[in-house]
Structures are given as C-alpha cells and as structure tokens.
Structure 1
Amino acid sequence: MWPTSGKLRDDVRIKKRQSEYTPEQVSRWLEEIEFPEVYSAQDIAAGLFPTTFDNMKMINRLHIVKYPYENTEMHYTADHDMTITFDALYRRIVGNGKGSYCFGMNLFFREALIGLGYRVYSGAARINEAERPGIDPEKYTSFVHMVLFVQPGEDTKTYIMDVGCGGSGPSQPILLSANPANVTMGVSPTEHHRLVLTNAHSGNSSIQDPHYAPDWALLVQHSGKPEAIVYAFTEAEFFAEDYDAANFVVSKRPSAGSLFWENVVVSRHFWLTREEAEELGGGKEDMDSPATRYIGRIGLKGDTVRRHVGTGSEVLAQFETEKERGKALRTICNLFIGEEDLHHIQGRTAALTFD
C-alpha cells in the first residue's frame, strides 16, 4: 500500500513514448559508457534491450563515472548559457565528453532511458541548503532540481533516478518507498540513501493537519555523521517550460549565495582500486562488476579540488588564477577548457585572477 508499496500514488502507470534521441544515438551512448554488452541501433529500434532493474542500475553507475556533473558552460562560454536543448546536450555529453548540472544531465538521461524502452517521466525537487545538513533546520530552495521516475519492464514498480546531483546524490536507482528497510548504498558502504515522506514547508503550510506530508525527501547518511535531507520532491510531472524557467533562474539570475553563480563546480566519479575498496570493507567480488564496484568522487569548487574516498578527503590542488584552475580542470577533472575560453569568466563573481 502507498507509500511503502514502491509504486506511485494510485498505482499510476507511466506510458511508453518515443525518445528525442535516435536508436543510433542511444547505441553510441551505450558504447561510450562501456556497457558490457553490445546493442546495435537495429537492436534498440527492435526493442531488444532488456529494460530490467539490473540494467538500469548498471547504466546509472556507468554514466556517472563517464560524465561529470559540472557548470563550466555557465562561466567559460561567451553567452554563459547552461544549454538544455536535446541536440546540444547530446553534442556536449556524448560528442565532447563533458557534462552539465541537474537539468542537462537528467534531461539527457531521461531521453536515453526512454530510447532503450524504459517508461520514464521527470519531476522536480527543492534542495536543502542548510549550512549544516542534519543539524540545522532544513532550508529549501524553489524547484531548482530535477529527478526521474522510472518503471522498468512492464511492472508499475517505480524507482527514483538522479544522475545530476553531484555531491551526496544517489549513485543507483532507489525504490519509491517510505519503508524504513528501503535503504540503498551510495558510492561506497560509508554512504546510504533512503526515502521518507515529509512536508517541506510545514512551518508555513496552510494545512491544519500537523501530520500532512505531501512531499518525498531523499536522505543521506555518511558513516559517523547525522542523517540529512538532500532534497524534497513531489510525484508531480514537470515539463519543458518548467525546466526552462528553473534553468534561467539558476544560470542567468545573479544570486548572492548561489552555489553555481558564485563558483565553478565539478563533481567527477571514479572507480576505486581494489586496495581502496578493501579499506572500506569491500571484498574482491565487489570489484568484479560496475554494478557493485565502489566509487569515489573528485570535487572542484571555487579554488580547490578535493578527492573523496569513503569518509576521507584530501586536497589535490588549490589555485589563485584562472590559468591554474584551467590546468586543474584538464589534468585532474579530465574536463578540457581551452585557454582561449578562460577569459569569458572575467567580471563574474566566480572569477579568479588572471596572470
């Protein structure tokens, strides 16, 4: 029974539809992320890709390791756009090996999944911007994040997917269930996620019932730290005009305290070595498949790059100039920004000094 059934309210079924990407484009993407089996454009067009949960999980992890979560397009291009049109996203992600933030990454991923035959729709979430998540009261944004609702196979069992969160976002599908036992591992055993029902605006809500909980919330817990809400979302379907408006707010409207307006941000996942996995308690069998192999994160924010493994973190580089940051983007984050493009950030809040 909802909300512990793993299904949408009223057991809603998501319909199949045609993807914005061709079978040829989807086949190339599968090859780029190194999906372990080969599916040609003809296979995909014929509906031969198995739309199972296991394949969904595999694709999720392969995709986030291949492509970075990042906002460099916002700062190092002449028009400072975070492009979210489907053709531009395909060129940027598959063609150039770059990434985007939530709207770009999840819009691309939604259409790729639909192209494989999965039934998917997209929604929106409010990010918890509390300074100390899990300790301070939640501080929610407007709907400036995107989430996906996916039904594998022919069942109505529904999973949340999100390849555009960075930081402590999920690294595999999460069953849409508030059952306390519905806990999934994050990038490694030191990180876990679960879903609960909540009221993101209980303090200002006009609903008299104090137990009214219209929202879902994604929680994360890192070993030794308090559990914290990452974001809150509803089951409502959102559409192109909603994302266009939210994308404009995030990328074009100057905003004091905005993560993306004030910083160059990159989050890149990487596979841990066997030795690193063993230090986190993993066995050799965990490293045999991308579906179970442990993951670490490299994060660039502002003037610092850090490498995160489990609950440990080390500073890889700090820099004072745009030339130094450009080098770190290329050599550490594997994200090429030409030196001729660095000057586009001049005059922006996120800019460092120039030589």
Structure 2
Amino acid sequence: MTLSVDRYLSRIGYPGAAPATPTRDALDTIVAHHTDAIPFENLDPFLGTPVRIDLDSIQAKLVERKRGGYCFEHNLLLAAVLTALGYDVTRLAARVLWGKSPDVTSMRTHMLLLVRVAGDDTPRVVDVGFGGMTMSGSIALTRGDAQATPLEPFRLVDLDGDYALQGLVGDEWRWIYRFDLHPEQPIDYEPVNWYLSTSPDSHFVTGLMAARVTEGRRLALAGTRFTVHAPEGSTRRELANADELREVLAGEFGIDVAGLDGLDDAFARLG
C-alpha cells in the first residue's frame, strides 16, 4: 500500500480538492477535520494486539478500517500527508506532564509535529494525537501569550530551556508536555511504541480510553465513564455493559467495532 492523500482527505471529510499550496489556513482545516473524524483510542493494546506504526499499517487501520489510534499512529499519518502536500514537517518527541509535576522526568512517550507553512517564518506546532487535550488547530512556536484554537486556548512556556505546552482548563493552565526541537525519525518511535502497546505497566494496556473533538465539544471515554465536555458544562454517565460500550464507540466516536473481538471480556476487566 502506498500513501493515498485523496483517501485520507475523504476519510476526514476535507472540503474540496487537496490544497494546492501549503498554507496555514489549509493546515488548520486539515487538523480540525482530522480531530473530528479520526478518534484517539487504544482498543488494540487494551485487547492484546500490539500496535504497528509503519505507514501501511497506520493507513489501513485509520483510513480504510475507520478506526482510531494513539499519538504515533495519528501524527505519523498526518506527517506523511502534510509532506506529500508540500509542507516542511519535523517529527518531535515529548515528555508527558499531564497529571504530573513539571519537575518530574518521564520517558519521551509522545509524538508531535513542527510544521512550516508558506509565507510564515514561524513554524507551527501540530498534534492530533493527545487524547483528551488534543489541539484542534495549530499554534505558533512562540513562548508566552495564549493562542486560540477552535476550542481552548493553549500556550508555550519555557521549562528549563525546553518548550512546555499548557492548555487552559476552566480558569487553570494545565501542564500537558515538554519537548525540544531535536528531530526524530519514524524508527525512533518503535521501541517506545512497543513498550506502550505491550507492557503490563503501560496505561494503554491496562486501561481503556477514547477521545474526539467534534462540534465544539470534547468526547472522552475513560474505562466505563463516558463524558461530554461542552461550553455549557460537562455531562457524564457510566456504561452498564459491553453493548453500551459498543454503542458509544460506534455512535459517538465513529469507530468500526465489527471486527473487534473480546469486548465483552474486556468490559469485565473494567469493573
């Protein structure tokens, strides 16, 4: 299988033909449609299937089989598409700070992109694979002021010489991850991906999660709890059984669950 930009653009519902020029507007349109159409989810590692991150496997899963994935799958696919469309893309790695103190040193378990667009001297940070705090637009690689996206504002701050991404949740700036500008190659993500998708210590193996940005809302699944975050407030409900799990995965996240075996046993593990 070779990369099909047209199939990808159709999958995300991109309006019109492929953009002829690598502009910021086209980039942000692609990012917004991607985060709406392709959910973040870890069903494969939770069900005991290691994640493959070669481009053929990612395209087959996320584009052709209408599944989602986690950061390496999302951002490797998007990097390939943007490169084919003429963007200058650098792959980066980050240390996750979400739920941690900023002075904690964690593994580089996350992937993000640095994208240069036509007519702009400042690169853009792009990340369509951070689950519940995925950015639905790009932001400039500049430290300091808050930057708007279709949902929450984000900002980059200095953290011991690194860039650190923060998102505004309510009235609180939350740490998301820290990164530097050292370029990564796809092979560099392989060992970490293997750990995340197979280790009994990985939260992707031990817990179930899904996330999607759509129509000004964030949808989040954590175990048996399904939450909708909207400007007017959040609503939560507990899923009672595997059938309700299937309905939420298919109806709310757009995941094709037909080929997923073991969801009944998996739901029992969440109890």
TM-score (norm 2): 0.90
Look up the match of 1:327: 247
Q: How does 1:281-300 map to 2 (within 5 A)?
A: 295-300=216-221
Matched, 1:56 2:27: yes
**3-state DSSP class of the match of 2:255?**
coil
* Partner deviation per Cα, 1:38-64 (whole Å, 9 max, x = no partner): 23xxxxxxxx71111111111110111
Q: How does 1:276-315 map to 2 (within 5 A)?
A: 295-310=216-231, 312-315=233-236
Output the amino acid matched with 1:251: S
Select the residue among 138, 145, 153 that pairs with 1:192.
Answer: 153
Look up the match of 2:210: 266
Query: Hey, what's the Cα distance between the residues in 1 that align with 2:206 and 2:240?
Result: 15
Look up the match of 2:127: 162
Coordinate RMSD, CA, aligned: 2.4
Query: Hey, what's the Cα distance between the residues in 2 that align with 1:35 and 1:343?
Result: 32
User: CA distance change for structure 1 residues 194 and 254 in 2, over 3 Å: closer, same or farther?
Assistant: same
Structure 2: tracts of 5 or more residues without a match: none
Query: Hey, what's the Cα distance between the residues in 2 that align with 1:147 and 1:331?
Result: 28
Matched, 1:218 2:165: yes
Cα distance, 1:241 vs structure 2: 2.6
Q: How does 1:1-355 map to 2 (within 5 A)?
A: 21-22=2-3, 25-39=4-18, 49-76=20-47, 80-130=49-99, 138-153=103-118, 156-178=121-143, 180-181=144-145, 183-188=146-151, 191-199=152-160, 213=161, 215-224=162-171, 226-255=172-201, 258-271=202-215, 295-310=216-231, 312-315=233-236, 317-338=237-258, 341-342=261-262, 351-352=269-270
User: CA distance change for structure 1 residues 339 and 83 in 2, over 3 Å: closer, same or farther?
Assistant: closer
Query: Hey, what's the Cα distance between the residues in 2 that align with 1:340 and 1:223?
Result: 36
**3-state DSSP class of the match of 1:120?**
strand
* Partner deviation per Cα, 1:152-174 (whole Å, 9 max, x = no partner): 12654211100001212322111
Does the 8 Å contact 2:31/2:137 carry over to 1? yes
- Identical-residue share of aligned pairs (%): 26
Cα distance, 1:83 vs structure 2: 1.9
Query: Hey, what's the Cα distance between the residues in 1 that align with 2:198 and 2:35?
Result: 26
Cα distance, 1:21 vs structure 2: 4.9
Output the amino acid matched with 1:322: A
Query: Hey, what's the Cα distance between the residues in 2 that align with 1:37 and 1:130?
Result: 40
Query: Hey, what's the Cα distance between the residues in 2 that align with 1:219 and 1:104?
Result: 23
Query: Hey, what's the Cα distance between the residues in 2 that align with 1:311 and 1:107?
Result: 34
* Partner deviation per Cα, 1:120-157 (whole Å, 9 max, x = no partner): 010100001436xxxx5554421000010111126542
Look up the match of 1:289: none
Query: Hey, what's the Cα distance between the residues in 1 that align with 2:205 and 2:241?
Result: 18
User: CA distance change for structure 1 residues 152 and 340 in 2, over 3 Å: closer, same or farther?
Assistant: closer
Cα distance, 1:262 vs structure 2: 2.2
Cα distance, 1:239 vs structure 2: 1.6
Query: Hey, what's the Cα distance between the residues in 1 that align with 2:124 and 2:265?
Result: 39
Q: Which runs of at least 4 in structure 1 moved beyond 6 Å after TM superposition?
A: none
Aligned residues: 271
Cα distance, 1:254 vs structure 2: 1.3
**3-state DSSP class of the match of 2:110?**
strand
Larger Rg: 1
